[in-house]
Amino acid sequence: MATTATLTLASTDIAGDPVSVSKVATLTKAGSTNDLDQSSGLNRVHLRSTTEKVLLAANAEGNNLAAKVYLINKSEDASLYITVKINAQTTGKLYGGDFMFIPWSQTDTSASIKIAASNWTSSTGDIPVEYALFHEDTDFLTNA
Amino acid sequence: MATTNATLDLSSDTTDSALAFSNTTALNTAGTTTGVNTMTSVTKVLSSTNQVDLITAASVSTTHAYVYINNPSEDETLYFNVTIGNAGAGSATDTEEIGRLYAGDFMWMPWDVDDDICVTPSTADDMTIEYMVFS
């Protein structure tokens, strides 16, 4: 049972010579070589307001356990973005087409991952967002 | 302007029906289809368990960037705590922990270049960390 993530970065002209970086990670439990064995599957939601939403509710049980979050803004409009926060800390903006893949510590129940379609208006239309969580033993069902 | 693409391929058999998807995005400046034109690539060896201001907001001149951080260690017990928060804060009270990068792990995220990205090694023995910033 394995989950692998491969990131490839490539450019022919951002430097004098072509740049190509490829990294493969097999997702494992914290501090071990055992594979992560639980996932949320791939989810899709549509944001239709500027209201901040909790995408993934932190579970303090998950502190010091391994969890990885994948998140993508599937809008085809490059100007439409979602603001991503952990707790109250903004980490960045995902513009149309952008994705992120991060470890998630869930240091406490405040460390939820929150998103907001900050520049959404009624004329921009929905902003589709897809996400997946891969994790170990934490019982996320308690947050349902 | 430069053209830089990032592709993430994910495959998992944690579910009975295997999951696999791939996405490619062009790295653009904020809200545009104009490619980013600046790249920084750094490798550091850290030799204490002190928090280190790895990527400072002052080092990037835009308000939107992409960050790649990699822990190339082969010892699965070694990790970096990655946090984001006030510049050089050095205190868990004013930084937010993103997560732990264990050996072989990487992370990729957009960054609003508002607060520094810091790391804390799990051991005082030499630990190598690699990062790239596109802006």
> Does the predicted interface ipTM exceed a cut of 0.85?
yes
Whether residue B57 lies inside any domain: the answer is yes
- Which is nearest to B95 in space by CA: A90, A55, A59? A90
Position of tokens 């017990």?
Answer: B77
Tokens of B41: 């690539």
Q: What is the mean pLDDT of residues A11-32?
A: 96
Inside any domain, residue B16: no
Distance from the Cα of A42 to chain B's closest Cα (Å) equals 8
Question: Which tokens is A36 given?
Answer: 């992560």
User: What phi, psi does A123 have (nearest 5°)?
Assistant: -90, -10
For testing contact with chain A, the best of B12, B62, B75 (most A CBs within 10 A): B12
**DSSP-based three-state secondary structure for A141:** helix
For residue B3, CA distances in Å to A60, A98, A126 come to 41, 15, 28
Largest separation between any pair of C-alpha atoms in chain B:
47
- In words, the CATH class of domain A37-143 is mainly beta
**CA-CA distance, B117 to B129, in Å (whole number)?**
13
Cβ B112–A93 below 8 Å, yes or no? yes
Tens of pLDDT, residues A92-118: 999 999 999 999 988 777 899 999 999
Q: Which of residues 66-105 of B touch A (CB under 8 A)?
A: 66, 68, 70, 76-77, 79, 81-82, 84-85, 95-102, 104-105
For B34-97, give the DSSP string. PBP--EEEEEEEE-SSS-EEEE-GGG--SS-EEEEEE---S-TT-EEEEEEESTT---TTSEEE
The reply to whether the predicted model has a pTM over 0.90 is yes
Q: Is B12 in CB contact (< 8 Å) with chain A?
A: yes
User: Per the domain annotation, does B81 fall within a domain?
Assistant: yes
pLDDT of residue A128: 97
Query: Which CATH number does the domain housing residue B68 bear?
Result: 2.60.120.510
Is the pLDDT at A143 greater than 50, yes or no? no
B13 falls within a domain: no
Q: Quick check: is B27 in a domain? A: no
Q: What is the pLDDT of residues A66-88, one digit of tens each?
A: 999 999 999 999 999 999 999 99
Q: State residue A62's pLDDT score.
A: 79
Domain count, chain B: 1
Range of the domain at B127: 38-134
- Please tell me which residue of chain B has the smallest CA distance to A134: B14
Q: Is residue B67 part of a domain?
A: yes
Q: Cα–Cα–Cα angle for A74, B63, A8, nearest 5°? A: 50
Residue B28: closest CA among B68, B66, B56: B66
Residue B20 lies in a domain: no
Task: Compute the mean pLDDT over every residue in chain B, rounded to the nearest whole number.
Answer: 93
Cβ atoms B84, B99 nearer than 8 A: no
Nearest CA to CA, how far is B1 from chain A (Å)? 8
Query: Quick one: pLDDT at residue B4?
Result: 98
Distance, in Å, from the CA atom of B85 to the CA atom of B49, rounded to the nearest integer, reads 18
